[in-house]
Structure 1
Amino acid sequence: MFRLGIQAKPFIKWAGGKQSLANQLIPFFPTDYDRYFEPFVGGGSLFFTLCPEIAVINDHNRWLIDTYRAVRDNWQQVAEILDKLPNTKEDYLRIRSQNPYELSFEARAAHFIYLNKTCFRGLFRVNRKGQFNVPYGAYDRRYYDPENLESVSSSLAHTTILAGDFELALAGVSNRDFVYLDPPYYKLGGHSDFNRYTENQFRETEHFRLASLCRDLDSRGVRWAVSNSNTEFVRHLYQGFHFHEVSARREINLKSQNRNILELLITNYD
C-alpha cells in the first residue's frame, strides 16, 4: 500500500498546493485500497506525503507532467542542467522566452523547475496561447535539493504518469481504488480565483462535469475525496455527500487578511 523509507517532498511550488494541509486531509482518507489516483496532481503534496506503492497521477499541464517524467527517469541529468542555469533577470527572461518543446526532455524539465523557483511568488501562469508569462522574482535561493530530487524519482518509480483530461485519467479505476481530486477551485473572488495553469481555464461547466463523474464513481463503489472552495455552488453540486471543513491559508492572496479561509473536503464515504 505505502512505501517506507522514502521521504520525498514537493520539488515545485504550486498555487493551491496542499503541503500545509496534508496532515489535516490524510486522516480522512481510507487506507485499504489497491491504487491511488490523483487526476489533478499539481505540485503533488498529497502524493509525496502518502507515497503510495501503486499510483496513477495526471495533470492537464503537459509541461508539468513532462517534468515529473524526466525527474523519474533521469533526475541526475535534470540536476546537471539546473546547475548551469544562472539566476539573473536577463537569463530568466531568456529562458522564459524559449519554447520548451524545442528542448531535450531533461532540459525542458530543468527549465520548468528553474522558472518555478525564480519567478514571482512561484506562480505558474500562462496566457491564452499557453506561454509562460510570470515576471522575474529576484529570489536568492537554490533551485532544488539533490537528495530530495532523488527521493522524488524513487517515489515515482512505479507510478503511471498521464497528461490530459481528468476524466480520461480515471479510465480503469475500480472499487478497490481510491481517488483524490484537487481541481482548480470554484471562484471565491479576488486573487484566490487564479486558475490559469493551462491555456484552457477550469470553469463552471468543468465543475459540473467533475461532480457528475464523482456521482458515477460513487454508483460504482469507488471511494473518492474532493477538495474545493466552501461555497453554496460547491455544496449544491455535491449534495448528499459528506462535507468536512478544513482551515487553510492561501499565501498567493495579496491581501494578508484574506489568506485564512475554510475549504471543503467532500467524501462519498464515512
Structure 2
Amino acid sequence: MSTVIAPRPILKWAGGKQGLAKQLVGLFPDGFRTYYEPFFGGGSVLFTLRPGRAVVGDLNHWLLDTYRAVRDDPAGVARQLDGMANTKAEYERIRAIAPEGRGLVERAAQFIYLNKTCFRGLFRVNKKGRFNVPYGAYDRRYYDPANLEAVAGCLQGVEIRATDFESCLADVQADDFVYLDPPYFKQGGYSDFDRYTPGKFREPDHARLAALCRKLDASGVRWALSNSDTPHVRELFDGFRLTTLTNRRDINLDARSRTISELLITNYA
C-alpha cells in the first residue's frame, strides 16, 4: 500500500513561505467558503492549508501552466523530467528553448527543471520575458515523483487564473477568504529578484493593492496580506491589524541578511 504524503512545493520561489506556512495558516480564520490566493508562487500556503475550494492566480502564465499540467497530468510531467540530465550543457540547451511553442506538459517540465537546476532557484526573466538565470551546478535530485503526485492531488478542484490580482478577486464573496503575498515593497537597495514577469510590481501597484484591500474590507471579505515591514507599508495599511513575523530569505547571497522581519496584515482579529 502506498503512503500518502503531505504535498510540498515543487518549485523554489523568491519570497516563498515554506518556513512560515504553518504559522500563517494558524492565523487564518477558522471557516470560509473559498480560499483565494492571487499571487501564487511556490504554493507553500495552499499546500499546507489544503482547502476544499480554492482559486489561485498570477500574471506569470508559464508558472500557472506548470501547475495546470501537474494537476492534470503529473505522470506526463514526470516522464519529461526523467529525460532531462542535470548538466550544464543540457541546462543551456533547455533554457534556450522558447516555451511558448511547446505543449503544456513539456512547458511545465521545462519550468520545473530550470527552476530546480538554475543558480539558487532564482526565477528571473528579462524585459522580453526570457528566462536568463545561469546554471546552478547542484548535485541533487530536482523533483520527487511521490511529491509531484501529492501536489497534483492537492490541486484537484483548484481554479487557476492567469490574471492580475484585481481580476482574480472579481467574484470574491463575503464568506470567502483571501491571502495576498505580493512581491514585497523594497526595504532599501536594488534587487531584481521580483522580475517574475517582463514587468515589475512597483509602488503604484502596492497602492492599488492597498485600495483593493480596503474595498474588500468594506464588503465584509476577510483577508491577510504579507509584506515587508517598512514605514510605507505601515502607512498604506494604517488601521488594520499588523503582526510582525520572522522569516528567512534563502535566495539572499548575504547569509547575514537572510533572517528578516516582515508583516502579516489582517482585517480581522
| TM-score (norm: length of structure 1) | 0.96
Counting only pairs closer than 5 Å after superposition, residues 38-77 of structure 1 correspond to structure 2 as: 38-77=37-76
Report how far residue 143 of structure 1 moved: 1.8
CA contact (8 A) 1:192 1:253 kept: no
Counting only pairs closer than 5 Å after superposition, residues 55-204 of structure 1 correspond to structure 2 as: 55-190=54-189, 194-204=193-203
List gaps (5 residues or longer) in structure 2: none
CA contact (8 A) 2:13 2:41 kept: yes
Report how far residue 128 of structure 1 moved: 0.4
CA contact (8 A) 2:123 2:193 kept: no
Look up the equivalent residue of 2:57 and give its one-letter code: N
CA distance in 1, matches of 2:191, 2:14: 9
SS at match of 2:91: helix
Instruction: Spell out, residue by residue over 1:46-86, the C-alpha distance to the aligned partner (whole angstroms, 9 max, x if none).
Output: 00000111000111100000000000000100000100011
Report how far residue 138 of structure 1 moved: 0.5
CA contact (8 A) 2:5 2:147 kept: no
Instruction: Spell out, residue by residue over 1:29-55, the C-alpha distance to the aligned partner (whole angstroms, 9 max, x if none).
Output: 002100000000100000000011100
Look up the equivalent residue of 1:50 and give its one-letter code: L
Counting only pairs closer than 5 Å after superposition, residues 29-44 of structure 1 correspond to structure 2 as: 29-44=28-43
List gaps (5 residues or longer) in structure 1: none
SS at match of 1:57: strand
Report how far residue 23 of structure 1 moved: 2.1
CA distance in 1, matches of 2:265, 2:191: 20
User: Which residue of structure 1 aligns with residue 223 of structure 2?
Assistant: 224
Report how far residue 252 of structure 1 moved: 1.5
CA distance in 2, matches of 1:264, 1:121: 25
CA contact (8 A) 1:185 1:193 kept: no
Look up the equivalent residue of 1:250 and give its one-letter code: R
| TM-score (norm: length of structure 2) | 0.97
Between 1:122-131 and 1:184-193, the stretch displaced more is 184-193
Report how far residue 190 of structure 1 moved: 3.9
CA distance in 1, matches of 2:128, 2:224: 32
CA distance in 1, matches of 2:245, 2:113: 32
User: Which residue of structure 2 aligns with residue 24 of structure 1?
Assistant: 23
SS at match of 2:45: helix
CA distance in 2, matches of 1:25, 1:240: 20
Look up the equivalent residue of 1:29 and give its one-letter code: F
User: Which residue of structure 2 aligns with residue 213 of structure 1?
Assistant: 212
CA contact (8 A) 1:242 1:267 kept: yes
Counting only pairs closer than 5 Å after superposition, residues 7-22 of structure 1 correspond to structure 2 as: 7-22=6-21
CA distance in 2, matches of 1:189, 1:14: 21
CA contact (8 A) 1:73 1:153 kept: yes
User: Which residue of structure 2 aligns with residue 259 of structure 1?
Assistant: 258
SS at match of 2:226: strand
Counterpart check, 1:241 vs 2:240 = yes
SS at match of 2:73: helix
Number of residue pairs the alignment of both structures matches:
266
After TM superposition, where is structure 1 displaced by more than 3 Å over at least 4 residues in a row? 190-193
CA distance in 2, matches of 1:147, 1:27: 26
SS at match of 2:179: strand
Look up the equivalent residue of 1:104 and give its one-letter code: G
CA distance in 1, matches of 2:259, 2:142: 28
Look up the equivalent residue of 2:239 and give its one-letter code: G
CA distance in 2, matches of 1:138, 1:197: 22
Instruction: Spell out, residue by residue over 1:120-148, the C-alpha distance to the aligned partner (whole angstroms, 9 max, x if none).
Output: 00000000000000000001111211111
